[in-house]
Chains A and B, each alone.
Chain A
Amino acid sequence: MTTVEFEQPDGSVTTVEAADGESIMRTALSNLVPGIVADCGGELSCATCHVIVSDAWVGIAGPPSGFEDEMLDATSEEREPGSRLSCQVVVSPVLDGVRVRVPASQW
Chain B
Amino acid sequence: MSRRVVVLGAGHGGGEVVAALRAGGFDGPLTLVGDEATPPYQRPPLSKSFLLGASPADELLARPRSFYEQQQVDLVLGRRVDHVDTTARTVQVGDESVPYDVLVLALGGRPRMLADPAAAKADNLHQVKTHADVERLRDRLAPGTRVGVVGGGFVGLEVAASARKRGAEVTVLELAPRLLGRVCSEVVAEHVASLHGARGVDVRTGVTGLHLVTGDDGRIARVATDQGIVEVDEVVVGIGMTPETGPAEQAGLAVDDGILVDADYRTSAPDVFAIGDCARVLRPDGSTLRLESAPHAASSARRVAAVILGRETPPDAAPWFWSHQFEVKIQMAGDPSARVSRWVTRGDMAGGSFLTFGIVEDRIVRIEAVDRPAEFAQTKSWLDRPIPSVIDRLADESYSIRQLFARP
Which of A's residues lie within 8 Å of B, judged by CB? 19, 29-30, 32, 34, 37, 39-47, 67, 70-71, 73-75, 107
In the complex, what distance in Å separates the CA atom of A4 from the CA atom of B115?
52
In the complex, what distance in Å separates the CA atom of A41 from the CA atom of B19?
14
Q: A40-B322, A41-B294, A42-B42 are in contact. List 15 more A-B contacts (CB 8 A).
A: A30-B64, A30-B67, A32-B19, A32-B22, A32-B71, A34-B23, A39-B294, A39-B299, A41-B62, A43-B48, A67-B329, A71-B373, A73-B378, A74-B376, A74-B378
Question: In the complex, which residues of chain B have a beta carbon less than 8 angstroms from the beta carbon of A74?
Answer: 373-378
Which of B's residues lie within 8 Å of A, judged by CB? 19, 22-23, 42, 44-45, 48-49, 62-64, 67, 71, 294-295, 298-299, 317, 320, 322, 324, 329, 331, 373-378, 381
Q: 6 interchain pairs (CB within 8 A)? A: A30-B67, A40-B44, A41-B294, A43-B322, A45-B329, A46-B377
Q: Are A46 and B295 in contact (CB under 8 A)?
A: yes
In the complex, what distance in Å separates the CA atom of A73 from the CA atom of B366?
21
In the complex, what distance in Å separates the CA atom of A67 from the CA atom of B376?
12
In the complex, what distance in Å separates the CA atom of A7 from the CA atom of B62?
23
Question: In the complex, which residues of chain A have a beta carbon less than 8 angstroms from the beta carbon of B376?
Answer: 74
Question: In the complex, which residues of chain A have a beta carbon less than 8 angstroms from the beta carbon of B67?
Answer: 30
Contacts A32-B23, A40-B44, A41-B42 given; indicate if A47 touches B377 (C-beta within 8 A): yes
Which residue from chain B places its CB closest to the CB of A41 in the assembled complex? B42
Q: Are A107 and B317 in contact (CB under 8 A)?
A: yes
Which residue from chain B places its CB closest to the CB of A42 in the assembled complex? B42
CB distance from B367 to the nearest CB of A (A): 12
In the complex, what distance in Å separates the CA atom of A74 from the CA atom of B317?
15
In the complex, what distance in Å separates the CA atom of A1 from the CA atom of B105?
38
Which residue from chain B places its CB closest to the CB of A29 in the assembled complex? B63
In the complex, what distance in Å separates the CA atom of A88 from the CA atom of B299?
22
